[in-house]
Amino acid sequence: MMYKKILLPIDGSENSKRAATHAIDIANVSDGDITLLFVVEQFYPKYAVLPTTVNSPDDDYFEEVRNEGVQIIKDFKKDLEENQCKGKCENIHFKTLVKEGKAYIEILKTMNEKNFDLVVMGASGRRSTLDRITLGSVTERVIREANVPVIVIP
């Protein structure tokens, strides 16, 4: 099967970079395109203090988180094109998407809305030490609920 539309969820981790290398190889062989997806998870910082002493995040906080996500995906795309393509990307068109929400939900929604043929992602991200030992929770949920092939790169 030829994969024309490849979704590459990234988080800026080394696992994402390894997954990108494989996505490039697949897209190059199948004359496909790659969409980089970064999901900004909006969470409230947790403090070990009384709730009345902690200000809840405001729009500035969320804007800062969004901007960080946009910068991560820009830097990742630039690194792909300059360092990882190694002459293989002439016919590959890269697109970028930044979404907000729970990572696995946004990955699955994007996969279905845009009719991707394949998802290529790292086994775990930059989230926690436990993710480095086991299959990442986001990756595991995507595998379990995906309706297209998912290639997981260790």
pLDDT at 55: 52
Q: For the ranges 101-105, 113-117, 119-123, 132-136, which has the lowest average pLDDT?
A: 132-136
What span, in angstroms and rounded, lies between the C-alpha atoms of 79 and 22? 15
pLDDT at 134 over 50: no
Q: Residue range 77-106: average pLDDT? A: 90
Q: What is the DSSP letter of 74?
A: H
Average pLDDT of span 91-113: 94
pLDDT of 84 reads 85
* pLDDT tens digit sequence for 44-84: 454 444 455 455 556 677 788 788 888 989 999 888 888 88
Residues 6+ apart with CB under 8 A from 14: 122
Position 135 scores a pLDDT of 54
CA distance 89 to 16: 17
Q: Between 112 and 62, whose confidence is greater?
A: 112
Alpha helix (H) residue ranges in the chain: 14-30, 59-79, 103-113, 129-133, 137-145
Tally the domains of the chain. Answer: 1
| Tokens 């199948």 sit on residue | 30
Strand order of the β-sheet with 150-153 is 94-100, 33-40, 5-10, 118-122, 150-153
Q: How far apart are CA 136 and CA 111, in angstroms?
A: 19
Euclidean distance between CA atoms 77 and 134, whole angstroms:
27
pLDDT confidence of 154, banded at 50, 70, 90?
confident
Average pLDDT for 32-52 = 71
Report pLDDT digits (tens) over 2-20: 899 999 999 888 889 999 9
Angstrom distances, CA of residue 69 to CA of 22, 42, 53, 75: 23, 11, 28, 10
Nearest CA-CA partner of 138 in 38, 46, 47: 38
The answer to whether the CB of 69 falls within 8 A of the CB of 42 is no
Provide the domain limits for residue 27: 5-153
CATH of the domain at 43: 3.40.50.620
